[in-house]
Amino acid sequence: MHSWTPRIAEVSRRLRSRADAILGAVWFMPQGGLPALAARAACMGRVPGPVAAALFAPQHPERVSAAVDDAWRDHDPGDLLQARLAGATAYLAGALGDEPAGVERAVAILRPVVEGAPTAGHPVYAGLRSLPWPGSPLGDLWRACDMIRERRGGSHLNAWTAAGLQAVEIQLLTERWRSTTNPGSTTAEQLGYSADEITDALAALRDRGLVDGDGALTADGREYREGIERVTDLQEADLVEALDGDVDELFELMAPWARAVVAAAGRIAR
């Protein structure tokens, strides 16, 4: 049994940040009609739209469900997995080169970490674990980053649902928690929530003392949201423990790649 520590929080959050940026190749790459939500769900097979919606919260469930069900009418999960991998690795090659220095070492560190964490309560991560490794340096790096992101995403979902929050509520809290100013509800709107849904959710959060009359986080709201992140961190303790003494080396390798992937978004044709 693990207990939360600042070290677990620091390493698990930095690991997710580095991996998320490299995984970002899948967001920046030319889409070519690829149905992104179904491609993300494809590691679990042809799951019904409502199942994907339950796992991809806090995105609006109706939007996710409709997009995934619509994609299955024209696409096979295996084909989507191949297209997603091919597009992401091609983007990475454009940003980093075919075999950036240190990539094999990074994969050697990451593989036992992502292969050994518990899968219970983490179905998307478990789906990725069931897939064969791509077998190329960039493909394996990208797959490991996908697994890191989906595992922490599952941990976060577990944390906020256990706290009794609805999907739109955690999204609104997170927008405010990540910003020193009140960001409004731009991200919630982008995820498909209507003005009425956002208004009702803010009212519920206000009734609980988590936001004030202007919709900004209260001190209690900030501590509440940070508590959810700590619960998320704690579920990632096995990954932190598995990294052991390789943490600094791994982060030094991943940091410039993460920056390069984001920077390439403006020069690699979409």
What is the per-residue pLDDT across 132-172, written as a single tens digit (0 to 9) for each? 999 999 999 999 999 999 999 999 999 999 999 999 999 99
Q: What is the DSSP letter of 133?
A: P
**pTM for this prediction:** 0.94
The rounded Cα 144 to chain-centroid distance in angstroms is 12
| C-alpha span between 32 and 117 (Å, rounded) | 34
**What's the confidence (pLDDT) of residue 182?**
56
Share of the chain above pLDDT 70, in %: 94
Q: Quick check: helix, strand or coil at residue 93?
A: helix
Beta-bridged to residue 211, according to DSSP, are 217
Of the CA atoms within 13 Å of residue 49, those in its CB half-sphere come to: 17
pLDDT of residue 179 exceeding 80: no
**What's the confidence (pLDDT) of residue 199?**
96
What average pLDDT does this structure show over 94-98? 94
Each residue of 23-53: pLDDT tens digit? 988 877 766 679 999 999 999 999 999 999 9
| C-alpha span between 55 and 41 (Å, rounded) | 9
Residues in Cβ contact with 203 at an 8 Å cutoff, skipping those fewer than 6 apart = none
Q: Which long-range contacts (CB under 8 A, 24 or more apart) does 81-85 make?
A: 81/39, 81/42, 81/43, 81/131, 83/32, 83/34, 83/39, 84/26, 84/34, 84/39, 84/40, 84/42, 85/134, 85/139, 85/142, 85/143
| C-alpha span between 243 and 223 (Å, rounded) | 29
Each residue of 76-89: pLDDT tens digit? 999 999 999 999 99
Cβ atoms of 114 and 144 within 8 Å: the answer is: yes
| C-alpha span between 123 and 79 (Å, rounded) | 20
